[in-house]
Chains A and B, each alone.
Chain A
Amino acid sequence: MTMRADPRPAQTFEIPLKIQNTGVGGPKRIQLRLVELSQGDVGNWELVEPGADVDLSGHASSLTWTSLSEDSVDIDPQVPATIMVSMRPPANARGVYFAGIVAETPLPDNPVGLVVRTRFLIPLIVEIKGRTVPERVSLVDTSMTFASAAAGGPPTTSAFITVSNAGQTFSRVRGELAIESSAGDQWRVVTRVGIDERGIIPGATLILGRDLERRLPSGKYRLRANLFVDGRRTPPLQKEIDFEGDPSADIAFDNTLLLEPGNVDVKIVPGATRTTVMRIANAGSDPVQIEVLAATPRSLLGVQMGELLGTDLSAEPWVRIVPSTFSLRANGHQNVRVISSVPDNGADQPNYYADLVLSGRYPNGQSAGETTSTIHLANSSVPSSAAGNVESLSAAEAEGSNFIFNLDFVNVGNVDVIPIAKVTVMSSGGEALLSQALSDDNTPLLPLSRRRFSGELSLASIEPGDYSVLAAVDIGAEQPISRRYLLSIAAPEGSESAPTISLTDPASDDAGSLDVNKDG
């Protein structure tokens, strides 16, 4: 439920918005309007009603140059209505701009009682092509809180990172947190958790947390936080805290749960059943209750290529784990069978994937940690083909003459790949002047999945002028997948000033280059 576009300054363009009535009765009337868009503490979108006392400093709004073709529409069941969203950014527009589209059911003419209305808030994100803007996204704090049962749910501990965007980019952030407890002169890891990726708008400060699913007693703890901005690791933050927790709790450390083999690769034949045995070992000193399940990988959810849905590549419906729950004593182990039963019809893809999620709990219900691996079902009767697209390359200003390059890559093949990306600045004569490898996580990228690579490049040694940038991704094929962009470096006005650059895509010169995306 996000609309995105990347026009040039002063470019007039339209985007269609479709709204469906999924009911089965009569038509429903929906009212539409534009609002200012802001972001809440956890990264959620918030609408700002006209006249509301909300600080929008540092916020770039597209409201003044955006309009809707309709302000009310009657929608028949199962027949989508299309509303055109028109925009014309000003000639001096730069960076990313935001607005919200509100689609809501109207108040009935003669209401009886308190009517519940429903409303959708659809973020509209416009990123202007051309000149770069500064990126200033940083990790500013980390913390941990205890919520007692009085808060409504089970007593638990949550850990947080605080992320601030003082720049002008709309960046993607994700985090990693290690929670350690003091044991004399040593620190012992209680657990490590990830913070899910989401977007952060200019001027926003997000407090992103994770439920540790355990009570922790009061005491001295150390929090070690890492932040990844557009896939690039930023300086870490470490903080020791005196934590006020549950006085009745003992520390539940993550247990060491070992899974062998690490990943499951099964050659399948439609209509046949295959069984693989995995060994799960508890290397800890306490008994744990284990649950093992197969799940559709997140990256396959909500994506589509032509008629092929990401979920069409999920192995989850065909995989059973036996046994799926069991107890493991300290230093004990258990063999489980991964049974893949593929039907005669419908298995027309060469590769199917599922996450194998192994989670442990102590007898008192506290989390003992989680381990995830991948189940890959290979259908040799259909050939695999590795392919990819460089979707976009963008740049943002860092310190001095440094610039951050973000490359978005998508796997459009039918098999997982491990992509390795780099950018190369080239002269007009084709000579490579600078090259920089871009960061990634070195894990397989499933079909139909996206990944953002990022890296910082100093252009101090490059004279002002026109160049090209080659964005290349190696997926193990004969030739890297690449795409060329035009780079213009402008001379600074003063000798101490940093250069400015403009990055354009010569193959995308129309109004659209439109991407409809979800932002988490």
Chain B
Amino acid sequence: MVAALTRLFGAKHVELAEDIVQETLLKAMHEWPYHGVPDVPAAWLHRVARNLAIDRLRRESRGLELLKENAALLRSEWTLSSTVNEMLNAPSIADDQLRMMFACCHPSLPREQQVALALKTLCGFGVPEIARAFVVSEETINKRLYRAREAFRALGSIEFPPPSELAPRLEHVLATIYLLFNEGYNSTSHQHLIREDLIEEALRLCDLLTRNATTDRGEVHALLALMLYHAARSATRIDADGSIVLLREQDRSKWDGELIALADHHLDRAVAGQAMSMYHVEAAIAAVHAHAATFASTDWRAIIGLYDQLLRLNPSPVIQFNRAIAVAQADGSAAGAFALEAVKGMEGSHLYHAARGDLLRDQGRVDEARAAYTLAATLTRSPAQNELLRRKQDACG
């Protein structure tokens, strides 16, 4: 709704759009307890927001700097309500959300501002919620939003990028969605390791992209498949106490078969596309895991092969690191440790030291393993991660 209203008023008035949505929700909070929840709440909210928008335009349209293409139409009663109706109808709202996605993920905005703006305007998160999601103060989020809106205004109208720029701009959108997902799936800074709300929003936004002819592309399906494979396992990743359960120990019977089937479907669609992206390979790796009956029977050779492909696309230490873990599974901990030694540039990551600890432990080098776990624990802020590392240190005796 914010996206559609912003398109109506123009990017300069994104706050007016937010105001109207907020006013609509307030109205619902006042009226629903007394008159009951309407039969179709979404339609009620839509109607109220539309009427508020029309009221504001009636009262203020001369003072508002509107977009050239619809200013005359919004300033005359002849066309005001039908123009507003048309711009706020359902199919056009879906398109508006996509346009807004491209605008929020504009390369001129720093990533953290992109995420804050996307959560505020596309996902309807409040400032306190966004602040909580990233464990920063509300003031920080307000600052980020303020700067993002300033940059946003400079963009003027909110449009799809031209075909020549679509692919690189889409990359930015996908990167932001994936970041949102990862923050939900592997919260770096939150008491709860998994934040369902962020995961759901990331899935929803990506799904929306697959439903539009312009953005229905292989890499979008690949990212959606990748996120779905991960989401299918999310319920088994933590136990009742909120502690991490490793892939090796997860109860595979509780993985969500429906989500895996949906992921398979999108992976098929992804492979049918022209381009090959990182998301394709990462989704393929996730698919191998999702279809392995047990940890031991996982096709590690296939996974190593896929990591090799990934390294050709993007030679990064994180991928080398993950490949080394797969080598350890396929060829034993000594071979894995050897591969891990070759990885340079991850010395600041708790994951690297935790994995090094595992491989040392498996080779019986418990003292070195304990030191690696201790070092890893100093490098993460996540309570769940710390708890897991503590358990591993204790197991070293």
A and B physically associate: no
